[in-house]
Amino acid sequence: MEFFARAKAVRLRSHHDKYLVADEDEEHVTQDRDGTSRGVRWTVERVDSVPHVLRLRSCYGRYLTASNEPFLLGVTGKKVSQTLPARLDSSLEWEPLREGSQVKLKTRYGNYLRGNGGLPPWRNSVTHDVPHRTSTQDWILWDVDVVEILPQPARIPNQPVSASSAVSSSSASSSRLSSLESSDSFSGPLHKVEGRSIYFTVADDNGNVDDSVEWPHVTFIGTSVPEVTQKLKEETKLDDIIVCTRNPLNQHLIPLYLHLPPNNTTMRLVVVDGNSKAAKKFSI
């Protein structure tokens, strides 16, 4: 469950290096190598009554569902689809089980989410099943790319303090305020600083970055990825770039295709030269 602890939205990549995709028909679920389509984004929803399981909701507002319907007659695999039932039942619930740096997603009935390979109709299909052959054991393993993180929880309100402490604190605050009011620092009008701070660095040819040095930063207003890309082009003097975030769990680079978070949270972005080896990996 730790892979999803801070995740608000994720991408899931199968053993075949393809992403779990919610089809535009708002019903089918498939696999595709294109990690930039809107269908690869799955919103993570916690289940309050069962803290170790979760639901995954597609960009169409429908849930990843382990159906009871066979994928093909005469075989054990069952269909996985997008649904929006009137009642959120256990068919929408998945239990993440860690397997090294990957996860298995287990249904409430003991099957696992499986990205299939091979010839049609199996190719690019997604089912839930228990693999019985050694050659398909890895088909139930998924890499998790966190594309949006949950905001930090609100701080716990300060505990009540004694009257003597309150008086002392108030007196000290008044003293500091008086000093500030007489300072030249407040000679101009007060205003709210707009925009967010974006710290950035340019990755090397293999996508590595140096965290031991201080990253430069810019102030950016808005949530548009094309606009922040243009801003970073100007700052880095590079014409062809891919702007990335880093997976907080394994530090892997994730191209930024979706809009920035709506609040002005400080961000750390990695600029990848479009002609580098690292950039070519994104288009595979």
Same domain, yes or no, for 235 and 133? no
Token pair for 31: 């696999």
Alpha-carbon gap, residue 13 to 36, rounded angstroms: 12
Query: Where a domain ends, among 114, 149, 184?
Result: 149
Cα of 116 vs its chain's centroid, Å: 24
According to the model, what pLDDT value does residue 257 have? 81
According to the model, what pLDDT value does residue 273 have? 93
According to the model, what pLDDT value does residue 78 have? 93
Name residue, tokens 């994104």: 282
Residue 10 — φ and ψ, nearest 5°?
-140, 165
Same domain, yes or no, for 225 and 93? no
3-class secondary-structure state, position 56: strand
Half-sphere exposure of 132 (CA within 13 A, CB side): 4
CATH code where residue 253 lies? 3.10.20
Same domain, yes or no, for 9 and 141? yes
Residue 273: inside a domain: yes
According to the model, what pLDDT value does residue 19 have? 96
Residue 70: inside a domain: yes
What's the DSSP call for residue 138? G
Q: Tell me the pTM.
A: 0.56
CATH code where residue 123 lies? 2.80.10.50
Count the domains in the chain.
2
The neighbour count for residue 45, using CB atoms within 10 Å, is 15
Same domain, yes or no, for 138 and 220? no
Residue 100: inside a domain: yes
Give start and end residues of each alpha helix (H) in the chain.
163-181, 225-236, 277-282
Which H/E stretch holds residue 279? helix 277-282
What's the DSSP call for residue 28? B
Alpha-carbon gap, residue 10 to 4, rounded angstroms: 8
Residue 181: inside a domain: no
Domain range for 276 is 196-282
According to the model, what pLDDT value does residue 194 have? 63
Residue 206: inside a domain: yes
Same domain, yes or no, for 94 and 222? no
Alpha-carbon gap, residue 282 to 215, rounded angstroms: 24
Query: Where a domain ends, among 124, 149, 174?
Result: 149
- One pLDDT digit (tens) per residue for the chain, 284 residues: 677 888 999 999 999 999 999 999 999 999 999 988 999 999 999 988 888 899 999 999 999 999 999 888 657 789 999 999 999 999 999 999 999 889 999 998 899 999 999 888 889 999 999 887 777 889 999 999 998 888 766 555 555 544 444 444 444 444 443 443 333 333 333 334 467 889 999 999 999 998 888 889 888 888 888 999 999 999 999 999 999 988 877 788 988 887 787 777 788 999 999 999 988 887 65
Contact indicator for 244, 255 with CB cutoff of 8 Å: yes
According to the model, what pLDDT value does residue 25 have? 95
Residue 85: inside a domain: yes
